[in-house]
Amino acid sequence: MSSAKIIKDRNEENNSKFTTRIIDIFVIAILCIFPLAVTDKYYNILQTKYYFYIGSVCLVSLVILMSAFVEYKKNKRFIFDFQWKAFVKRFTITDITLLIFLLTAIISTICSDYVYESFWGNEGRFSGLFLLGLYGIAYFLVTRLGKFRDWYLDVFLGANMIVCLFGITDYFKMDILHFKADMIESQKFIFTSTIGNINTYTALVGMVVAVAAVLFSIEKVWKRKLYYYICMVIGFFALIMGISDNAYLSLAALFGLLPLFLFKNKKGIKNYMIIIATFFSVIQFIDWINDVMGEKVYGIDSAFSIIVNYKGLIWIVIGLWLIISIWYVAEYRRKEHHDLKNNFMCYAWFGFIIIAIIVFIYVLYDVNVNGNVDRYGALKGYLLFDDDWGTHRGYIWRNAMECFSDFSPIKKLIGFGPDTFGIILLDKTQNNIYGEIYDTAHNEYIHYLLTVGIVGVTSYIIYLCSFIVNGVRICKKNPIVIAIVMAVICYSVQAFVNLNLPIATPIMWMLLMLGELKCREVKLKEE
């Protein structure tokens, strides 16, 4: 090989390393620094996170463009020699559906009666076309120019433990950050940690718990396994002490779907039992804390009270830990471990999920159609869908769907414009009996249905689902991807009752980008 060729290859390698390092910095900024970014307590926390994300995406884009300009001659040759057919061929369903989603948002904005508001999202929660476009730019930068690092998730957990610990201390009314000093007492419990609203906080912590639980399950090195377990325990405390019921949707998704991955062998079953035992232990500890400390903590009602009011909870905790202890002792005495792989338990659990879904649908029918509300005791508040359901979410969703039914055919397809939900519902819900203003649906999918239409929300759902499918396909070779998949699923499930804000949502998008990046790397190796 000639010296010129060697120098050329080294330059290309150095440029590639420079680009990946820039992406590394960007990833760390979003996963680790972004959740902690605060400027003026809770008064402008949404704006702070929003501008932080804008600055991060714009800065990384600018640096990469400048590096490309510096290497103009090489990049010029690259452009002219570029094999577009091969490039397009490598597009995944995830890529395509994201582009359709973004294209729909663009068309929706252009056709909107409120172009300015649609573009900036200033009449909503800053989730207009501009932010959606930044998500798209970040996605293709990370998935095309990045290199997946296993330590991404380690530092993600480490940084967000700080978020969790601040949330836990806030539950004890310590207010270490002094963010609540000037707030009226009735509003203090609504905001927590460096995130703000408890619904957004638990959306983020739900992803943290999912990542920690999966990594704990698959890790073989005991020191790292201990680290993930500690993160999971802290995450459980933070999630429950977040006081928001959307946390239990994340947990339901995690506990319900994780066995499909773990129940392939005895080790996976044992790890799952440890996770469940730990969760119920945390629930029991929090109940004891509430009893002992009384008014020194905020306390928790709703779903938490349903669990702790079950008299057999302590025996469930003791029984689970006893079974786990006996299991470990038996393994120690046996010395030789024969962990035979068998998918029977996975199939059995899948059957259980199907049965549970059927039962749940019947119960909803029984309550809302047959009128048998009192039959289900404390659960009736969650099963009966009326205007008061979910802190008036029932009222919002009913009015939202009534507005959607009045849309023209084209508006039904492409929506009224990104983040214009508040404008759409203004006339219909003004002077409502609750005395509230609704600028979001408190349901990400209904929100997208009205703002970017059937095409937009469908492409977004397929975008999420296609990534999940891709992640599941490669999990045998790279089980770490399941941690990201579960985080995305947990976010997506709780999104049925939560807001789409540039606080927790950018973190979900970043995790999805990293998961898709790993999927692409695996596919390229196979080719």
Tell me what pLDDT residue 79 has: 52
Asked if residue 71 is part of any domain, the answer here is no
Rounded CA separation 131/119 (Å): 8
Query: Could you tell me if residue 149 is left (phi over 0), alpha (psi between -120 and 50 degrees) or otherwise beta?
Result: beta
Residue-range definition of the domain harbouring residue 199: 95-264+342-526
Asked if residue 479 is part of any domain, the answer here is yes
pTM of the predicted model as reported, rounded to 2 decimal places: 0.94
Collect the ranges in the chain with pLDDT lower than 50.
1-12
Asked if residue 519 is part of any domain, the answer here is yes
Asked if residue 81 is part of any domain, the answer here is no
What's the whole-number average pLDDT of the chain? 91
CA angle, corner 195, sides to 192 and 200, nearest 5?
Answer: 90
Asked if residue 307 is part of any domain, the answer here is no
Tell me what pLDDT residue 361 has: 96
Task: Name the one residue in this structure whose structure tokens are 């906080």.
Answer: 201
Tell me what pLDDT residue 81 has: 52
At residue 91, what are phi and psi to the nearest 5 degrees? -65, 135
Yes or no: say if 490 and 455 are a contact pair by the CB < 8 Å rule.
Answer: no
Tell me what pLDDT residue 12 has: 46
Asked if residue 164 is part of any domain, the answer here is yes
User: b vs e for 441-453, b when ≥16 Cβ sit within 10 Å of the residue's Cβ?
Assistant: bbbbebbbbbbbb
Number of domains present in the structure of the chain: 1
Asked if residue 130 is part of any domain, the answer here is yes
Tell me what pLDDT residue 7 has: 39
Rounded CA separation 242/57 (Å): 30
Rounded CA separation 163/466 (Å): 30
Q: What is the pLDDT of residues 231-282, one digit of tens each?
A: 999 999 999 999 999 999 999 999 999 999 999 888 999 999 999 999 999 9
Tell me what pLDDT residue 87 has: 61
Yes or no: say if 381 and 367 are a contact pair by the CB < 8 Å rule.
Answer: no
Asked if residue 62 is part of any domain, the answer here is no
